[in-house]
Amino acid sequence: MRAAVRNIKSAFRHQRNSYSVAFVRSRSHLIEGNSSSVYRQTGNAEIHRFLFPAIFISRVFSTDAAAKVNITEVNKAGPLVEYERRIAAGELVDGDACQVGTLRELRRLYDEIVESADACRLERYAVPEKTVRNRWFWSRLMPRSSCSPVKGLYLYGGVGTGKTMLMDLFYDQLPSNWRKNRIHFHDFMLNVHSRLQRHKGVADPLEVVAGEISDEAVLLCLDEFMVTDVADALILNRLFRHLFSNGVILAATSNRAPDNLYEGGLQRDLFLPFIATLKERCVVHEIGSAVDYRKLTSAEQGFYFIGKDLSGLLKQKFEQLIGEHVASPQVVDVVMGRTLQVPLGANGCAYFSFEELCDKPLGAADYFGLFKNFHTLALEGVPDFGLHNRTAAYRFVTLVDVMYENRSRLLCTAEGSPHELFENIMTVSDAQQMAPRTSSRSRRNDDSDLCVDNELGFAKDRTISRLTEMNSKEYLEQHAEERQLSQQDANADALKVYKA
């Protein structure tokens, strides 16, 4: 029995997003969303110039908003205090009144969790390991419901409004020895499906998986909650009913309001009970802002090249990155025994054509596997998206999400700027608001390649925003700093092995 229990225990991976949203000190650096000048310059910038960290974060923290913050709140520990500390330190400047309301909700969650820490059994070492490992098994014999006294938080809003940064700020203020986990939604669902595969044949594998997850993390922070897969949609309600019954507290960020999740998806009627469960167990809060702060970063030239027949240029940049290393085909492990073929790879850099990475039946699992082995991707030939390549557009959106989550670096050639790539993608609402066809309208927006797709239409704004940030000076400096720290850690480990 002990061996069986030991075999089903697995570590819930915690992927930190240490660089959530990049900002700058002055609005003069604003990169206009429809401007293509930033991307059209191929330049002669040195690839290896990003050696030192420089994270600049901007927030419009107005005098009125500051006045609304109660002084007694400031004197207590928590996310609000940390937010103000960063403002005082110059890490956050200027400001956004919308974030104060969001911080109040995070403060509410923080205070309730701290006050109920014992009741929620958050202390990792306060619960005997044997009890933690076997609770799901005994609950099969003696089922019981013990929903947490604390309501979670579902935070949603437009792209670049700072949702991830605020949730990470909240998460980092909680004790490290608590049973908590912060993970991207894509990665979380891959983990769930992997566990389900492992427990095939069990009477109710979802209950077993929920038991494992809730034993490992009482506080579950999910970033970028987005449901597009029918397999995910069909299990979410039962999975989270089990998780909430096991006392799990959910904190999530999303671009979509709960009622708009999985909109237009297959068999959505079976998904609707999950929305009701989510709203019952979480406070739903919208963070509003008219500014995409990811675009308030200093532009960098030399990583996003626009035009056709630029493969020679991209390969030249790729060779500069790998230095004296020789690129060769490689194979990386993904999940459940699957592998991914890498056409060329060396020195942490991988080279793919767009067709090899986005026109083949690949998904989030393959992309996560890729970026666990490579920190830089050179991607050749990103096309304009439309009805003819909608599936490839979905894969590209997922690829960018995974790259951003892993703080990876992108070099690419594309047919247009990020905005231009998605010009033919729109939501139903956008399509309904389009003016009647006139002779003055461009053929590009008036042809049969127009793709009306709600999920892709919402996701495109996030992708455009992230591509913009990933081409910024701040992001690339942070990437270089993380690579430097990673290399130092690897050298230290090698030295320990040598001395041993």
DSSP string, 79-122: HHHHHHHHHHTTSEESB-HHHHHHHHHHHHHHHHHHHTHHHHT-
Beta strand pairing call for 349-353 and 339-346: antiparallel
Judged by DSSP in three states, 174 sits in: coil
Minimum mean pLDDT range among 12-26, 360-374, 383-397, 480-494: 12-26
CATH for 61-287 is 3.40.50.300
- pLDDT tens profile 140-170: 554 555 789 999 999 998 777 778 888 998 9
Q: What does the mean pLDDT of the chain come to?
A: 77
CA distance linking residue 456 with residue 200, whole number of Å: 33
- pLDDT tens profile 251-293: 999 988 999 999 888 889 999 999 999 999 999 999 876 555 5
Is residue 496 very low, low, confident or very high in pLDDT (cuts 50, 70, 90)? low
Asked if 381 contacts 354 with a C-beta cutoff of 8 angstroms, the reply is yes
> Which of the two residues, 463 and 101, has the higher pLDDT score?
463
Burial of 25: CB neighbours in 10 Å, binned 0-12, 13-18, 19+: middle
Minimum mean pLDDT range among 165-169, 338-342, 373-377: 165-169
Predicted TM-score (pTM) of the model is 0.60
Residues 6 or more apart whose Cβ sits within 8 Å of residue 74: 80, 81, 84
Residues 6 or more apart whose Cβ sits within 8 Å of residue 212: 8, 9, 10, 136, 195
Residues 6 or more apart whose Cβ sits within 8 Å of residue 413: 305, 306, 307, 310, 311, 313, 314, 379, 380, 381, 382
CA distance linking residue 500 with residue 494, whole number of Å: 10
In sequence order, which ranges of 297-405 are alpha helices (DSSP H)?
Answer: 311-322, 354-358, 364-371, 390-405
What's the whole-number mean pLDDT along residues 366-370? Answer: 94
DSSP 224: S
Looking at residue 243, its pLDDT comes to: 96
Is residue 2 very low, low, confident or very high in pLDDT (cuts 50, 70, 90)? very low
Give me the phi and psi of 92, to 5 degrees please: -120, 125
Looking at residue 482, its pLDDT comes to: 83
- pLDDT tens profile 300-334: 655 888 888 888 889 999 999 999 999 999 999 98
- pLDDT tens profile 460-482: 988 998 998 898 888 888 888 88
Q: Is the dihedral of CA 188, 194, 195, 201 positive or negative?
A: positive
Looking at residue 5, its pLDDT comes to: 40
Where in the chain is CATH 3.40.50.300? Answer: 61-287
Minimum mean pLDDT range among 180-184, 413-417, 488-492: 488-492
What's the whole-number mean pLDDT along residues 5-29? Answer: 36
Residues 6 or more apart whose Cβ sits within 8 Å of residue 416: 36, 306, 384, 423
CA distance linking residue 73 with residue 86, whole number of Å: 16
HSE, side-chain direction, 13 A CA sphere, residue 276:
6
Residue 189 has pLDDT above 80, yes or no: yes
Whole-Å CA distances, 396 to 63, 125, 307, 360: 41, 42, 18, 11
Give me the phi and psi of 84, to 5 degrees please: -70, -35
Token digits for 410?
A: 């992108």
Residues 6 or more apart whose Cβ sits within 8 Å of residue 387: 424, 448, 449, 450, 451
Token digits for 352?
A: 């793919």
Asked if 156 contacts 253 with a C-beta cutoff of 8 angstroms, the reply is yes
Looking at residue 28, its pLDDT comes to: 31
Measure the N-to-C terminal CA separation of the chain; round to a whole number of Å: 37
Judged by DSSP in three states, 228 sits in: coil
- pLDDT tens profile 378-423: 999 999 999 999 999 999 999 999 999 899 999 999 999 898 999 9
- Identity at 91, one-letter amino acid code: E
- pLDDT tens profile 63-100: 333 333 333 333 346 888 888 887 777 766 555 667 77
Token digits for 281?
A: 């167990």
Most confident of 47-56, 58-67, 277-286, 449-458: 277-286
Looking at residue 97, its pLDDT comes to: 67
